[in-house]
Structures are given as C-alpha cells and as structure tokens.
Amino acid sequence: MANVQEPPTSIGKRPAGQFLKLREAAIKISATTRFLQRRIACGEIQVLNPSRRMVRISRAELSRWIQRYTHGGHLNPAKAAIPETEGREVTG
C-alpha cells in the first residue's frame, strides 16, 4: 500500500486570488471600509460587483491606486518628486 499524503487544509485562509473583498482590501492598506467605499464612489478605484451587495477589488487595481496615491496623483513618479515653486520665491 502506497503512502498517500493529503494536501494540507487551510481553515479560515483562502489562497491568494485575483480579487479581494472590501474588508480585506481595507486591512491590506490599513484603512476603513468606509474610506474605500468613498474612493469607489468618486471613481478612483474600479471594482467588480457580482451582485448588489458584493464588492470585489482586484489586486492589480488596488496596487495601481496605491501607486497613484503615493506619488501625489502623478502617474510618473519623477513628476511627484519635483516641488511646485511656480509663483513663489524660493529662498535658500
């Protein structure tokens, strides 16, 4: 008789998939679900709504939004590093 191993079961844990629940996404970025709901409502984050109450955020979309948010809204990080000094005197 061959020694057959069963795959380990992960109770309470799901494999890393393509989509996150709203609460999982909020935990991942250390924010509240309400904060994410507001970002979704204003169109900053695109979501998948399989039903009226179910909201899923793709990992790629969340990463894209984080990149955009951390670079001051610029898609090019180099532009975010340049301080805006137009109309002000720079002393130094």
* Of the candidates 14, 28, 26, 30, the residue with the CA atom closest to the CA atom of residue 55: 26
76-89 mean pLDDT: 55
Residue 86 has pLDDT above 80, yes or no: no
Q: Write down the mean pLDDT value for the chain.
A: 76
* Of the candidates 67, 68, 63, the residue with the CA atom closest to the CA atom of residue 20: 63
What domains are there in the chain, each with its CATH number?
19-75 (1.10.1660)
Is 11 or 25 the better-scoring residue by pLDDT?
25
Q: What is the pLDDT of residue 65?
A: 92
% of the chain at pLDDT higher than 70: 59
What is the residue whose two structure tokens read 């790629």? 60
Q: What is the pLDDT of residue 87?
A: 58
In this predicted model, what pLDDT tens digit does every residue of 20-54 receive, in sequence order?
Answer: 999 999 999 999 999 999 999 999 999 999 888 89
